[in-house]
Structure 1
Amino acid sequence: MSIVHRLRHGLRIIRGRVFRRLGLTDKTVIKVYHGYGHASQLVLYGHVFRQSALPRKRYRQSVLNNTWALLRLFMVKPLPNVRLRTQWQGQVLETVADRDGFYKFEWQDIPPLEQGWHELTVEMLGPEREVLHAGSGSLYIPHATQYGFISDVDDTFLISHSANLRKRLFVLFTQNARSRRPFEGVVKHYQLLAAGNTSPDAPNPFFYVSSSEWNLYEYLLEFTRVQSLPRGVFLLNVMKQVRELLNTGQSNHQGKFARIVRIIEGFPKQRFVLLGDSSQRDPYIYESIVRHFPGRIHAVYIRDVYRKSRVDVLEVVGKIEAAGVPVCFFRHSEEAILHSRKIGLISDAAAARELSAGDPDAAKGQVG
């Protein structure tokens, strides 16, 4: 090995050590997000990166550590235009990542499909079709239940202060996925909804549709896991860079409408319940969904977190109710649980049991 080659090799080693010290990697990483299947159509999303954050292993409650951990999630460099391959039930599927490193597999199978969660591997192919890198993830085929649930994230179940930029950024930078708190009672409500009118081995499906970016996917996944929220499929917003961090979760609400439409269109025989909050555009998006899909929306839940928008939101609530869809505009999750019991989403016995048990570990405060 020549001196030049040895020098380059040594610099690569040093660079790798510095990156690891910073919680970053300059190695190719294939992210595979939760995909989902419906009828005969299946879809799987992900990103390919040439630089990304290493998975967080320690969750010490330190402002400095939490701030750096958040910044790392936005210090990504995509690897565009690479060919990818996955396999499903004997089918070999290929696609190409776009300029942002984002990829999507869409394919069909012959029903009936095996319901539940399925593990898949996505491989990156070289010029000779050799496997260069691989990543793994899951695809969810919901059980044939009566209802599906589409929920927002920020200020719907996760306290985020979305209407106040200063508070929102403060929480993002100083807390982490394990120290952030849900609203009081919301976990029990979601657990009851997932189990309502079905059996434990066939829960109602949950889809988490948010204006937050794919940068926060693992963050949100860890939060829902730690809090024991129903396991579900995330559909998030386009990836952002560090320079765009101050605008996280604040844009492309129209894209959120389109993502919800794709879910509802994908399950033509299922009725849906929409859950959101009053801090941003959820009431208006959901009112549009109700008009777009007459007879398909069973109920709408809007958490009242922003008093300045209350009058306008009540006007939208009236429009949804005029379309024949029940609306629960609530401040406390106990109200939402009682409403869900009233319209038959959860049983009287289950609701009474959970309300009497309480939820002492959840956050007490409200937003707004």
Structure 2
Amino acid sequence: METVNKHLPIKPKTTRKDSWKKRILAWFRLTNDLVVRVYRGYGNARKVTIQGHVLRLSPLPRRKYRKNMLVNLLAVIRLFFVRPVANVTVRLKGTALQTITDADGFFRIEWVPQEPLPAGWHTVTVELITAHRWITEGEGRFYIPPQTRYGCISDIDDTFLISHSSTIAKRLLVLLTENAHSREPFDDVVDHYQLLAHACTADGQTNPFFFVSSSEWNLYDYILEFSETNHLPDGVYLLSQLKRLRQLWKTGKNKHFTKMDRIARILHMYPERQFILLGDDSQEDPSIYASVIAHYPNQIRSVYLRQINVRNQERTKTLIGQMEKAGVSVCYFRHSARAIEHSQHIGLLP
């Protein structure tokens, strides 16, 4: 039997007050229309994971990028003007498969298609169902990787994107005054990632990339724009719990055990594939990756950790010893050129 959202009203007639409110919000590049956001999903031929949010207040897409501190400040703050919609029903269009959003308006749909899906990007639509059958929907994509030997799971902040995660004041300063076009990746990191994307692959195939971060879903478009601007490998982004404006100062500070859960889901989705883990020592990547290796020793090919925080180096070296004892090659590096040399040394790259 179909579940519906009884507390969501039928689309009302627009009053003059509503019209002015929408105009004011639009001036600030915000909307109070119900929005179904569908992020990039992933899967294999037999199973697909689709994720997203339902929001009643959300930012409109950024259209222009300028080197103006005030403009950049307002653009980032807008990303945290969100109002999630909890306990409403969303349905995968064209199927009877549906689920309920959690307290943060977040949903995850696990879909088993009737026929095996080919490798590549596929379009998907998620519908918000109301009691009066008025439907709001959002469109997204999901990725089925080709049958390559490897996959890559990478952190974002201070792994390829210079973020100063160890110091909250510096992180906020960079986040609030720069934009996705003006920020920079580390030297040679894009070259390393592109080489790994093609490591041991046949012509026309690439190893899949999964970007798993403690950054919030608020920054999804921001990070995606940065990655595309800097020509990082196309991939799937799995971020952390949505934050409201009052929590902006805590950006990037989330429960790290959820990162382990997201990585575990990827490994379960591709049990026959080996993975390359990429991170840094600014927060909890070394301990998370050591735990991943302890639980999935046969699925990890190598680990790359960027040296960011001097105070964490001794602890990181201890964890690296545990990883290497488990038979995993680890590169603890300051510059990506060294990481490229390591990938060549262990046979990932020619």
Aligned with 1:154: secondary structure?
A: coil
Q: CA deviation at 1:207?
A: 0.4
Q: CA deviation at 1:39?
A: 4.9
Does the CA-based 8 Å contact 1:37-1:141 persist in structure 2? Answer: yes
CA distance in 2, matches of 1:346, 1:19: 51
Does the CA-based 8 Å contact 1:34-1:139 persist in structure 2? Answer: yes
CA distance in 1, matches of 2:151, 2:214: 20
Q: Which residue is 2:127 aligned to? A: 123
CA distance in 2, matches of 1:83, 1:201: 40
- Count of residue pairs brought into register by the alignment: 337
Q: Which residue is 1:28 aligned to? A: 34
CA distance in 2, matches of 1:56, 1:23: 8
1:213-362 to 2 correspondences below 5 Å: 213-347=216-350
Q: CA deviation at 1:100?
A: 1.7
Q: Which residue is 1:19 aligned to? A: 25
Does the CA-based 8 Å contact 1:39-1:267 persist in structure 2? Answer: no
Q: Which residue is 1:95 aligned to? A: 99
Matched residues, percent identical?
A: 48
CA distance in 1, matches of 2:95, 2:204: 28
TM-score between the two structures when normalised by the length of structure 1: 0.89
Q: Which residue is 1:167 aligned to? A: 170
CA distance in 2, matches of 1:29, 1:124: 9
Superposed CA offset, 1:41-72 (max 9, x none): 21100001110001000111111111111111
Q: Which residue is 1:47 aligned to? A: 53
Q: Which residue is 2:88 aligned to? A: 82
Q: Which residue is 1:358 aligned to? A: none
CA distance in 2, matches of 1:199, 1:138: 24
Does the CA-based 8 Å contact 2:241-2:254 persist in structure 1? Answer: no
Structure 2 unaligned blocks of 5 or more: 1-13
Aligned with 1:274: secondary structure?
A: strand
Does the CA-based 8 Å contact 1:33-1:138 persist in structure 2? Answer: yes
CA distance in 1, matches of 2:316, 2:130: 53
| RMSD between superposed Cα atoms in Å | 1.4
Aligned with 1:14: secondary structure?
A: helix
Q: CA deviation at 1:169?
A: 0.7
Structure 1 unaligned blocks of 5 or more: 1-7, 348-368
1:340 counterpart letter in structure 2: S
CA distance in 1, matches of 2:90, 2:296: 35
1:145-164 to 2 correspondences below 5 Å: 145-164=148-167
Aligned with 1:60: secondary structure?
A: coil
Describe the shift of the 1:39–1:290 C-alpha distance in structure 2 as closer, same or farther (beyond 3 A).
farther
Does the CA-based 8 Å contact 1:61-1:179 persist in structure 2? Answer: yes
Q: CA deviation at 1:248?
A: 0.9
CA distance in 2, matches of 1:35, 1:20: 29
Q: Which residue is 2:6 aligned to? A: none
Specify which of 100, 109, 112 is matched with residue 108 of structure 1.
Answer: 112
Q: CA deviation at 1:157?
A: 0.2
Does the CA-based 8 Å contact 1:39-1:266 persist in structure 2? Answer: no
1:49 counterpart letter in structure 2: L
